[in-house]
């Protein structure tokens, strides 16, 4: 079965750039989506089709995907961006989530 791997935690200072990675075999051949989840809330889609932002998602959220790694980059990170982030793909008729990365802004 397909697997996605994320680092458990990333820390960043306010105003700096945070990079959250997601790795999987030939991940660059698949479409990656990213979700933000704050405590007690449902996940929110922040990136789809590797690089696209849904309406209402700030421009500081960008995505890339190549080779075996997809990256979610948050530029000018704000305290409100502190959350868990999950990558996800649809592969071989199954939906797969990464284990999640907790982003701490301090």
CB of 95 to other proteins, least distance (A): 4
In whole angstroms, give the CA distance from residue 76 to residue 73: 10
Q: What is the DSSP letter of 24?
A: -
User: Which residues form the interface with other proteins (CB under 8 A)?
Assistant: 1, 31, 33, 35, 37, 42-45, 47-49, 54, 84, 86, 88, 90, 93-100
Q: What are phi and psi of 77, to 5 degrees?
A: -55, 135
24: which 2 tokens?
């999987």
Beta bridge mates, 37: 84
80/93 with CB nearer other proteins:
93
Q: Which is nearer to other proteins, 17 or 25 (CB)?
A: 25
Which is nearer to other proteins, 33 or 77 (by Cβ)? 33
């Amino acid at each position: 079965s397909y697997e996605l791997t994320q680092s458990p935690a990333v820390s960043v200072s306010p105003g700096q750039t945070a990079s959250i990675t997601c790795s999987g075999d030939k991940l660059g051949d698949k479409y990656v989506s990213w979700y933000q989840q704050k405590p007690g809330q449902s996940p929110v889609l922040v990136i789809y089709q590797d690089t696209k932002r849904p309406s209402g998602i700030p421009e500081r959220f960008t995505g890339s995907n190549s080779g075996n790694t997809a990256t979610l980059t948050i530029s000018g990170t704000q305290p409100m961006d502190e959350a868990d982030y999950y990558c996800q793909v649809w592969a071989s008729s199954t939906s797969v989530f990464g284990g999640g990365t907790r982003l701490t802004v301090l």
